[in-house]
């Protein structure tokens, strides 16, 4: 039977000097993702895009199959996939933008430059999403300005998503 009293000084030094290692594969993957800010931002974008686009893709594929029963026409399938891929990419861009907001709000090293980083990334994300949905130049400029405003006020709205 193991001793349940306090650890000896030698054991405290041995176990206190290193962080506990995750045992499972998922724990190791999570530790690897959170080990770097860029991996955390990309993971936020990927998870946001997957969670929001997979149901849309499933509904879109089901509607495409319903429109042409019994036919395997690739012409009707490829435009649908192009739309779904654009949706996935737009959601990925927005998810990366949310990850940037999260990182610049939480890290103290971005206390002074955080608002500027969020404004620039918001403008770029808005313009990228406008390009993905084939908006006009005016629409892209409007989306970029809306993205900049969302980036500036990201501290107030991003935590509610």
Residue-wise pLDDT tens digits, 26-66: 777 777 777 878 777 888 788 777 777 776 666 665 565 55
Asked whether residue 1 is assigned to any structural domain, the reply reads no
Contacts of 132 by beta carbon, 8 Å cutoff, 6+ apart: 86, 89, 90, 93
Contacts of 23 by beta carbon, 8 Å cutoff, 6+ apart: none
Asked whether residue 147 is assigned to any structural domain, the reply reads yes
Asked whether residue 127 is assigned to any structural domain, the reply reads yes
Among the listed residues 105, 103, 151, the one whose alpha carbon sits nearest the alpha carbon of residue 127 = 151
Domain housing 60: 24-160
Residue-wise pLDDT tens digits, 82-109: 777 888 888 888 988 988 888 888 878 8
Contact between 135 and 86 under an 8 Å Cβ cutoff? The reply is no
In the chain, the number of structural domains is 1
Asked whether residue 19 is assigned to any structural domain, the reply reads no
Asked whether residue 44 is assigned to any structural domain, the reply reads yes
Asked whether residue 49 is assigned to any structural domain, the reply reads yes
Asked whether residue 37 is assigned to any structural domain, the reply reads yes
Asked whether residue 13 is assigned to any structural domain, the reply reads no
Please report, rounded to a whole number, the percentage of residues in the chain having pLDDT higher than 90. 15
Spatial separation of the C-alpha atoms in residues 119 and 100, rounded to whole Å: 11
pTM: 0.63
Among the listed residues 130, 103, 133, the one whose alpha carbon sits nearest the alpha carbon of residue 118 = 103
Spell out where the chain has E strands: none
């Amino acid at each position: 039977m193991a001793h349940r009293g306090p650890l000896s000084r030698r054991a405290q030094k041995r176990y206190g000097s290193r962080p506990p290692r995750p045992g499972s594969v998922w724990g190791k993957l999570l530790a690897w993702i959170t080990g770097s800010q860029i991996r955390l931002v990309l993971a936020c974008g990927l998870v946001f895009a997957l969670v929001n686009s997979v149901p849309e893709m499933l509904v879109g594929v089901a509607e495409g199959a319903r429109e042409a029963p019994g036919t395997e026409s690739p012409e009707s399938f490829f435009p649908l996939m192009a739309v779904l891929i654009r949706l996935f990419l737009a959601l990925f861009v927005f998810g990366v933008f949310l990850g940037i907001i999260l990182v610049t709000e939480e890290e103290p090293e971005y206390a002074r430059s955080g608002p500027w980083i969020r404004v620039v990334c918001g403008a770029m994300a808005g313009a990228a999403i406008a390009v993905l949905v084939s908006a006009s130049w005016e629409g892209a400029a409007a989306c970029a300005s809306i993205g900049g405003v969302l980036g500036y006020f990201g501290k107030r709205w991003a935590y509610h998503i």
